């Protein structure tokens, strides 16, 4: 029931200093799930203390996998004694990413059961992607008591060819992991291209997996034996969504801000858009700098349209923070959310803060800028919408209260403490 209280800057760009990017939540969760494919364990480093990672650890503990923190941001994970194949209902219903465990469990044990996954209310996540794919690999599915039961025939999963009608990140990762232990070759076509997929594949390959074509639209996996970690260390890649979130915040509210320990190539489209809008950005190998931004008024930023799309297109996870940016730019901007039908629902609360946004339908919104924002009490609707409200509260005049910050804690480690270090007046209450 925690809340954030924020004293707004009333449009002034006074933030400065340095803010570090943490390890990528969406990469770490999948590597944790991949531990099911191992006879032993491995180490993980650069792991942030966020709720989703805690929940995945609890899910794995329930199954019999050992997840131990050895020091700050470092863990050892070991599935040598894993035995359960039924995902815990309470945890799974809070976490959309729990579905990714089904591939490794089914591949290793020949059976798995799970409830309909939960998480943020941003739109439907079709389960049919996974059910149809597993059935093509020789599994049988039953749905009863609001739970899916999947099992293979004698001999386990069989390699096959799967074409994704929509390039799904989670489905790509799930079936890539399932293919590691399936009999024969698995060919995945029209796969997602997100950097987190290559990050996962590279680690699995280093531990014995036979995977080809990562980074292209076709991935081939030759099935084999359980993988061996041999005390290898997986170091989490930088979180590109956190990088982009900080860059948007800095564009609106900072004079001089350095974003460190990031990979600018992963958000190249966002950087290009903001530069063309007028934000003074300097790019280095693993840092992004905003320099001399206070002399540029937000109303001098040019508006632009965005259309969310699979990588390397504009990420849906940055849509909400970018809508906040567009409320300050001059002109009309069309926001087209193509991934989740519920992800624009937060605009009503932004309008209550003083924005002028017309929600045309569940997928399109017209943002008219610039507008002055006023502090209000709002409730975080989801992880990324909650971060957008933080940006809005910092930007606005007066005080803002953000409720339901648990959803923000799911993806951003101690966000209030990190923002305080660059000058934000924010506290957890």
Planar angle of CA 75, 384, 29, nearest 5 degrees: 25
Separation of CA 123 from chain center = 15
Give alpha helix (H) positions in 160-267: 169-181, 195-206, 240-253
- Rounded distance, CA 21 to CA 3, Å? 23
Separation of CA 201 from chain center = 17
Q: How far apart are the first and last CA of the chain?
A: 9
The structure tokens listed for 67 are 């997840």
Q: DSSP string covering 319-344, please?
A: HHHHHHHHTTSBEEEEEE--S-TTTT
Is residue 213 classed exposed, middle or buried when 0-12, 13-18 and 19+ CB atoms within 10 A define those classes? Answer: middle
Planar angle of CA 263, 269, 270, nearest 5 degrees: 80
- Rounded distance, CA 370 to CA 328, Å? 4
Q: How far is CA 221 from CA 178, 192, 324, in A?
A: 9, 15, 42
Whether residue 307 contacts residue 344, with contact meaning beta carbons closer than 8 Å, is answered with no
The structure tokens listed for 394 are 């910092």
CB atoms within 10 A of CB 316: 19
Please confirm, yes or no, whether 120 is among the known catalytic residues: yes
Strands 139-144 and 147-152: antiparallel
Edge-to-edge strands, sheet with 4-7: 377-379, 399-403, 4-7, 425-428
Planar angle of CA 49, 410, 131, nearest 5 degrees: 115
- Rounded distance, CA 162 to CA 160, Å? 7
Options 120, 207, 253, 262, the catalytic residue: 120
Whether residue 172 contacts residue 219, with contact meaning beta carbons closer than 8 Å, is answered with yes
Helix (H, G, I), strand (E, B) or coil at 246: helix
Backbone angles phi, psi at 292, to 5 degrees: 60, 40
Active-site positions?
A: 120
């Amino acid at each position: 029931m925690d809340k954030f209280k924020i004293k707004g800057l009333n449009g002034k760009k006074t933030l400065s200093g340095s803010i570090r990017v943490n390890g990528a939540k969406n990469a770490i969760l999948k590597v944790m799930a991949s531990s099911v494919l191992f006879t032993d364990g491995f180490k993980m480093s650069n792991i942030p203390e966020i709720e989703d990672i805690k929940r995945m650890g609890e899910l794995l503990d329930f199954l019999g996998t050992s997840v131990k923190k050895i020091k700050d941001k470092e863990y050892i994970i070991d599935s040598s004694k894993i035995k359960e194949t039924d995902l815990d209902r309470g945890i799974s219903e809070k976490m959309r990413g729990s579905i990714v465990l089904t591939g490794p469990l089914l591949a290793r044990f020949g059976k798995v059961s799970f409830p309909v996954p939960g998480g943020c209310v941003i739109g439907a996540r079709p389960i049919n992607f996974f059910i149809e794919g597993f059935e093509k690999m020789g599994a049988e599915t039953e749905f009863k008591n609001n739970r899916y039961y999947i099992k293979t025939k004698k001999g386990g999963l069989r390699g096959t060819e799967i074409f994704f009608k929509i390039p799904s990140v989670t489905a790509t990762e799930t079936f890539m992991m399932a293919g590691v232990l399936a009999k024969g070759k698995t060919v995945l076509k029209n796969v997602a291209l997100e950097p987190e997929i290559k990050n996962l594949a590279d680690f699995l390959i280093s531990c014995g997996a036979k995977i080809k074509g990562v980074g292209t639209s076709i991935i081939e996996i030759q099935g084999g034996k359980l993988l061996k970690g041999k005390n290898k260390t997986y170091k989490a890649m930088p979180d590109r969504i956190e990088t982009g979130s900080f860059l948007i915040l800095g564009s609106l509210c900072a004079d001089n801000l350095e974003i460190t320990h990031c990979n600018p190539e992963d958000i190249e489209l966002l950087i290009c858009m903001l530069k063309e809008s007028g934000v003074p950005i300097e790019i280095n190998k693993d840092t992004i700098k905003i320099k001399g931004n206070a002399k540029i008024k937000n109303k001098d930023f040019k508006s632009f349209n965005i259309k969310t799309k699979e990588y390397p297109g504009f990420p849906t996870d940055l849509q909400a923070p970018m809508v906040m940016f567009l409320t300050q730019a001059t002109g009309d901007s069309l926001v087209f959310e193509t991934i989740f039908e519920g992800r624009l629902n937060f605009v009503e609360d932004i309008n209550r803060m003083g924005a002028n946004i017309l929600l045309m339908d569940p997928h399109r919104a017209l943002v008219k800028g610039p507008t002055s924002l006023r502090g209000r009490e709002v409730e975080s609707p989801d992880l990324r919408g909650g971060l957008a409200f933080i940006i809005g509260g910092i930007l606005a005049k007066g005080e803002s209260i953000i409720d339901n910050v648990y959803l923000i804690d799911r993806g951003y480690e101690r966000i209030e403490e990190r923002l305080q270090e660059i000058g934000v007046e924010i506290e957890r209450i």
